[in-house]
Structure formats: C-alpha cells, structure tokens
C-alpha cells in the first residue's frame, strides 16, 4: 500500500494513470498527451509498474501500457473504510464536530469577564450498586481516576480530600500519552464544601490557565438517591468567575462531563461489588 500511495502521489504519474484509465497507450503517445519528455514518461511508467498499478507489453517497436484496476479498487476500499470509521454514528469524529460547534458559539459569546456567570448544567445517571458504593467512586482517588475525565483523556494526578475544606487537584493528559512525555492537557484545583456520605457532595473546582489564573469556577452539587436497582445520581453545575479565556473550557462541559459520567456508569456496572480497596490512598499518578 505504501508503494501504491507513493507512486500515485506524483502529479505527473497521476496524469498518466488518468490517461491509461481511458485505454491502453504507448509510451510515445502518453508523452505527447501528458506534454512531457519521453524518457521522463518512461521512468514514471516504470515506477507505476513496480507499484503494480500498470502493466506493459511490447508490440513490435512499441511498448504498450495498460492500467491495472484491482490495486485502485483495493485502495478505494481502504479509503472508504477509513471514511466510514471516521463518520460512524456516535463516533469520536461526531463528538469532535459537536465540540467544534459549541466552541465557536462560546468564543463568540465570551466578550468580557463574567460573560458566563450563572450558566448551569444538569446531568442525571442511573448507577449500579447502592449509594454507599457509588459514594466511593465519587470520593476515593483510585476509583475516581477510572472515570473522572472524558474518553480521550486520563487522570495523571489526583487529590480528593472528602471533607469540608478538603483540597482537590486534578491533572489530566491525553489518554494515549502513556509515558507522560507530551504536555499536560489541563489542571484544575478546588475545595470540597459539603459532605454527607452516601447522600450529597458539593465542591467548587476551577480550571487553571497557563499563566496560573483561573478560567472560571464550577460549583458542583452531586446528589444520590437509592432506587430498586441501584442509585440515581443528579449533578448540577453552576458557573461563576468566568473569564474571556474560559470559553474553550465551558464549551466542553456538557460533552466532556457527560462522557465522564458514562464512564462512571460503566465502571460501576463492571465491578459493582468488589471495587479496588483505596483506604490509604490520596493521590494517583
């Protein structure tokens, strides 16, 4: 496939391929139609032949070249497969496009400080397991790291002190940056405000800008209610202290935190009875 792509990448060779798609032709005629010198045309045709795109045979004093359709159909199938993967319903590209639309709208609205103050977001999820189990996933660092980022990110540092006044630190990287050599994608710092184990948790959390300032403050309130099959989780976000630079962050709240909660649902469903023991652990890197 690499040889095929390399051969087709040259504009002069691509012109020859299009001419041969019409019918087999001799080197001399191809050179005339392509408005090129015959030695150059011969070299291009030899490259195409080595790549399997054309074939040739000698007839008297002439060498006739013809196009091989099969490699082009194979390439077309590969390209169609890549396009289908990128375009599948609910895939990463669809999320990328949704975020792009939100990003443009929020950047347009972010004209001065305080532009997003009072904005709110609400999320609801039904979780497997009793509220006591869900509470552990909301407050214990080794369980939080399993879900507390969108799909394409991973938590690289986390501190969550589940007590009033407790410190929160969340740092995250690209999910495929396994060795930490790429730059940190983001960092947020905050404080736990209210704790009622198994029932209610509230905290404030602020993404940190590159200059050390805060982008905005999110006031997050999580409520747990037992159900016949597990636990209902309601989450409310409220924005204050929004800066012009907060637009990129706020644009991703609905999509990003929604993905995080979907990961929480999956984590509890996969291991609802025996989560990792994290009694003595405050941070994960």
Residue spans in the chain of domains classed CATH 1.10.10.10? 2-85
Q: Taking a C-beta distance cutoff of 8 angstroms, is the pair 109, 244 a contact? A: no
Topology of the domain comprising 2-85? Arc Repressor Mutant, subunit A (1.10.10)
Query: What is the residue whose two structure tokens read 């983001």?
Result: 186
Half-sphere exposure of 6 (CA within 13 A, CB side): 8
Topology of the domain comprising 92-284? Alpha-D-Glucose-1,6-Bisphosphate; Chain A, domain 4 (3.30.530)
Residue spans in the chain of domains classed CATH 3.30.530.20? 92-284
pLDDT computed for residue 282 by the predictor:
41
What CA dihedral angle connects 261, 263, 269 and 272, to 10 degrees?
Answer: -80
pLDDT tens, per residue, the chain with 285 residues:
888 999 999 999 999 999 999 999 999 999 999 999 999 999 999 999 999 999 999 988 889 999 999 999 999 999 999 988 888 876 788 888 889 999 999 999 999 999 999 999 999 999 999 999 999 999 999 999 999 999 899 999 999 999 999 999 999 999 999 888 898 999 999 999 999 999 999 999 999 999 999 999 999 999 999 999 999 999 999 999 999 999 999 999 999 999 999 999 999 999 756 444 443 334 444
């Amino acid at each position: 496939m690499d040889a095929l792509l390399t051969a087709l990448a040259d504009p002069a060779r691509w012109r020859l391929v299009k001419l041969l798609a019409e019918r087999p032709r001799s080197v001399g005629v191809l050179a005339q139609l392509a408005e090129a010198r015959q030695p150059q045309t011969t070299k291009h045709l030899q490259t195409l032949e080595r790549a399997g795109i054309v074939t040739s045979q000698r007839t008297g004093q002439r060498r006739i070249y013809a196009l091989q359709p099969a490699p082009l159909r194979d390439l077309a199938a590969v390209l169609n497969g890549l396009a289908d993967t990128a375009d599948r319903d609910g895939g990463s590209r669809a999320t990328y496009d949704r975020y792009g639309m939100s990003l443009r709208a929020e950047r347009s609205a972010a004209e001065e400080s305080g532009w997003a103050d009072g904005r709110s977001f609400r999320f609801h999820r039904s979780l497997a397991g009793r509220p006591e189990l869900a509470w552990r996933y909301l407050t214990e660092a080794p369980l939080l790291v399993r879900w507390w980022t969108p799909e394409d990110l991973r938590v690289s540092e986390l501190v969550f002190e589940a007590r009033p006044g407790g410190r929160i630190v969340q740092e995250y990287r690209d999910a495929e940056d396994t060795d930490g050599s790429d730059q940190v994608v983001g960092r947020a710092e905050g404080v736990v405000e209210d704790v009622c184990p198994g029932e209610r948790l509230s905290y404030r959390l602020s993404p940190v800008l590159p200059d050390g300032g805060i982008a905005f403050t999110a006031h997050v309130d999580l409520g747990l209610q037992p159900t016949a099959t597990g636990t209902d989780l309601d989450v409310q976000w409220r924005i204050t202290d929004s800066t012009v630079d907060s637009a990129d962050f706020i644009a991703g709240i609905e999509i990003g935190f929604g993905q995080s909660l979907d990961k929480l649902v999956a984590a509890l469903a996969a291991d609802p009875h025996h989560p990792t023991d994290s009694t003595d652990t405050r941070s994960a890197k």
